[in-house]
């Protein structure tokens, strides 16, 4: 059996020179933007973020080191990275006042109770307004929105609180501002975009009524919204003092912010409060500066401790309404 070899097969060209190699093509030269655009953008972005972080964090750090420094060193510009003339006299004067601890306990109570009431009311109200089968929901929503543009003023609010018998009670602090219309709008938009009507119909086919559907299904799908509402109201209720200043007369019910305000005012008067035993106005001013920085640190610590644990949920909740599901 004979085999024929094709003229173009490698066997016929074994003794001949190999075909010339094709010249290797070099990749086209990239422009400066293509070669360095992304790294440059990364460097600029990181640098900008680092500068922004420093601008935000350094004032907080300065308050801490200033609370342990001599006020004269602060006024002379000697305090930059470390305390100068280390002292804890400001903190000693603050905690020597029993009203501080009582005010701290009151603030914790007002914050927990006020946040709970606000979150419950907003979630329930927003879900009801998100239901298309709610009769008159557009009119009800317009009434809520109208309160953002029309305000009766401080005197009208005071008269309402007085007529309801809430003056000098805890309810005067936690109830008047418990429902924020803007937060209600955010929650309603979340329910409209993330809780489809088909899901409710499926639950009804399984025998679930509206209450069971809301508490077992809707709330389970709304964790980012719930944590967002909790964080917003935690910060607002902890820092609030104006309602307590207007509606409370009993100093034993004052929140921490109002107590610290009064301590600071007393420290600036040489003949009042903690400055009564000081020998000169300059010493009183020195103590007032120490108390001022110390009070800022004390009132900020609880939020700085709690909020980082909720940061993950806050990041998700902050995007609510930005992208429709």
CATH of the domain at 296: 1.10.3720.10
- Is 161 within the bounds of a domain? yes
Q: How far apart, in whole angstroms, are the C-alpha atoms of residue 61 and residue 54? A: 10
The residues, any chain, with a CB within 8 Å of residue 170's CB and separated by 6 or more, are 109, 110, 113, 253
Q: Given 75, 101, 124, which residue is the final one in a domain?
A: 75
C-alpha 178/C-alpha 190 separation (Å) is: 20
Q: Within a domain: residue 5?
A: no
Same domain, residue pair 257 and 145: yes
Query: Is the residue at 7 inside a domain?
Result: no
Q: What is the pLDDT of residue 44?
A: 85
Distance (Å, rounded) from C-alpha 292 to C-alpha 298?
A: 10
For residue 125, what pLDDT band results from cuts at 50, 70 and 90? very high
Closest CA to 230 of 307, 126, 173, 299: 307
Residue 21 lies in a domain: no
- Higher-pLDDT residue of 185 and 266 is 185
Q: Write the DSSP assignment of 125-175 as a string of letters.
A: HHHHHH-TTSTTHHHHHHHHHHTTT----HHHHHHHHHHTT-TTSTHHHHS
Mean pLDDT of 21-31: 58
Domain final position from 75, 105, 127: 75
Q: 50 with 175, same domain?
A: no
pLDDT tens column, 44-88: 888 999 999 889 888 889 988 988 888 888 878 788 888 888 888
- Would you call 3 helix, strand, or coil by DSSP? coil
- pLDDT grade for 272, boundaries at 50, 70 and 90: very low
20 within some domain: no
Q: Look at the chain and report how many structural domains it folds into.
A: 2
Query: Among 75, 98, 131, which residue terminates a domain?
Result: 75
pTM for the structure as a whole: 0.72
- In terms of domains, do 266 and 306 share one? yes
Domain of residue 40, residue span: 36-75
The confidence score (pLDDT) of residue 97 equals 78
């Amino acid at each position: 059996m004979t085999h024929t070899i094709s003229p173009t097969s490698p066997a016929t060209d074994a003794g001949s020179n190999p075909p010339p190699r094709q010249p290797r093509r070099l990749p086209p030269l990239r422009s400066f933007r293509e070669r360095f655009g992304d790294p440059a953008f990364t460097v600029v972005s990181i640098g900008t973020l680092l500068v922004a972080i420093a601008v935000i964090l350094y004032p907080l750090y300065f308050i801490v080191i200033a609370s342990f420094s001599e006020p004269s060193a602060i006024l002379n510009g000697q305090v930059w990275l470390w305390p100068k003339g280390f002292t804890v006299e400001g903190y000693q004067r603050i905690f020597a006042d029993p009203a501080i601890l009582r005010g701290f306990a009151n603030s914790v109570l007002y914050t927990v109770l006020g946040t709970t009431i606000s979150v419950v009311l907003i979630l329930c109200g927003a879900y009801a307004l998100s239901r298309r089968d709610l009769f008159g929901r557009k009119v009800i929503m317009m009434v809520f929105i109208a309160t953002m543009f029309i305000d009766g003023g401080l005197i009208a609010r005071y008269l309402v609180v007085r007529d309801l018998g809430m003056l000098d009670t805890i309810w005067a602090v936690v109830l008047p501002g418990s429902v924020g219309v803007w937060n209600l709008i955010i929650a309603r938009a979340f329910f409209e975009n993330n809780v489809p009507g088909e899901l409710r119909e499926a639950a009804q086919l399984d025998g679930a009524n509206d209450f069971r559907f809301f508490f077992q299904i809707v709330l389970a799908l709304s964790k980012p919204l719930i944590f967002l509402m909790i964080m917003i109201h935690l910060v607002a209720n902890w820092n609030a003092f104006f309602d307590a200043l207007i509606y409370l007369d009993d100093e034993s019910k004052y929140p921490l912010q109002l107590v610290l305000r009064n301590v600071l005012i007393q420290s600036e008067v040489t003949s009042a409060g903690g400055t009564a035993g000081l020998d000169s106005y300059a010493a009183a001013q020195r103590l007032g500066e120490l108390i001022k920085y110390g009070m800022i640190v004390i009132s900020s610590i609880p939020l700085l401790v709690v909020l980082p644990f909720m940061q993950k949920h806050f990041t998700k909740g902050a995007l609510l309404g930005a992208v429709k599901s």
